[in-house]
Structure 1
Amino acid sequence: MAKWQSHPEYPAAVLALLAELDIADRVLLPIRSLVECSLARIYWADWRRSDARDPKWTTTPGDHDEPELHRVDGWPEFGVGRVERKWSRRARLWMSWHSIDAWHVADWFVNAVSDGDEWLLNLDASGHPKKLMKCGTLDRLVHEATKGLRQRNAQAARELVLGPNDEHFVADLGAGHTLVRMLSIAALRREGALMHHCIGLGGYDPFLDDPNVLLLSVRDPDGDSLATLEVQSGYIRQFRGRGNSEPAPAVMDLVSGAAHVHGWQDWRDRPRSRDRDPGSAAILRDPPHTRRRE
Structure 2
Amino acid sequence: MAKRHKHPEYRAAERALVAELDLGDRALIPIRSLVECSLVRLFWEDWKRSDARDPKWIAAPGDHEEPELHRVDGWPEYGDGTVERKWSRRARLWMSWFSIDAWHVCDWFINAVSDGEPWLWNLDDAGYPEKLMKCGNLQRLVNEATKGLRQRNADLARQIVLGPTDEHFIHDLGAGHTLVQLCSRAALRKEGALMHHCIGQGGYEDLLDDPEVLLLSVRDPEGSPLATLDIRSGYIRQFCAIANAEPSAAIKDLVVGAADAFGWQDWRDRPDFRADEQDYGHEALVILRDLPPLRRRGGLGFIPPANTSS
TM-score normalized by the length of structure 1:
0.95
Q: Unmatched 5+ residue regions in structure 2?
A: 292-310
Cα distance between partner residues in 2 of 1:13 and 1:243? 26
- Counterpart in the other structure of 1:57: 57
Residue of structure 2 in register with 1:272 after alignment: 273
Q: How many residues align?
A: 288
Asked whether the equivalents of residues 229 and 239 of structure 1 are also in contact (C-alpha less than 8 Å), the reply is yes
C-alpha distance in structure 1 between counterparts of 2:268 and 2:6, whole Å: 35
Equivalent pair of 2:191/2:199 in contact (CA under 8 Å)? yes
Q: Are positions 1:48 and 2:48 aligned together?
A: yes
Alignment of 1:1-294 (within 5 A): 5-270=5-270, 271-273=272-274, 274=277, 275-286=279-290
Structure 1 residue runs of 5 or longer lacking an equivalent are 288-294
Residue 291 of structure 1 aligns with which residue? none
Distance 2:63 2:86 in 1: 25
Structure 2-normalised TM-score?
A: 0.90
Amino acid at match of 2:273: R
Aligned CA-pair RMSD: 1.5
Q: 1:102 to 1:116 in 2, by over 3 A?
A: same
Contact 2:195 / 2:225 at 8 angstroms: preserved in 1? yes
Distance 2:281 2:47 in 1: 22
Q: Distance in 1 between matches of 2:143 and 2:77?
A: 42
Where do 4+ consecutive residues of structure 1 move more than 2 Å? 1-4, 271-274
Cα offset for 1:2?
6.9
Cα distance in 1 for residues equivalent to 2:5 and 2:47: 14
Asked if 1 retains the 8 angstrom alpha-carbon contact of 2:177 and 2:221, the reply is yes
Measure how far apart 1:263 and its partner are.
1.0
Q: Deviations over 1:229-275 (max 9, x none)?
A: 00011111100000110001110111011111111111122132431
Q: Deviations over 1:51-108 (max 9, x none)?
A: 0000000010125321100000000000000000000100000000000000000000
Identity, % of aligned positions: 71
Aligned-partner SS, 1:44 = helix
Q: Deviations over 1:203-250 (max 9, x none)?
A: 111110111110000000111100000001111110000011000111
Which whole-Å CA distance do the structure 2 matches of 1:37 and 1:31 have between them? Answer: 10
Counterpart in the other structure of 1:292: none
CA distance, structure 2, for counterparts of residue 45 and residue 4 of structure 1:
14
User: How many Å separate the matches in 2 of 1:155 and 1:2?
Assistant: 34
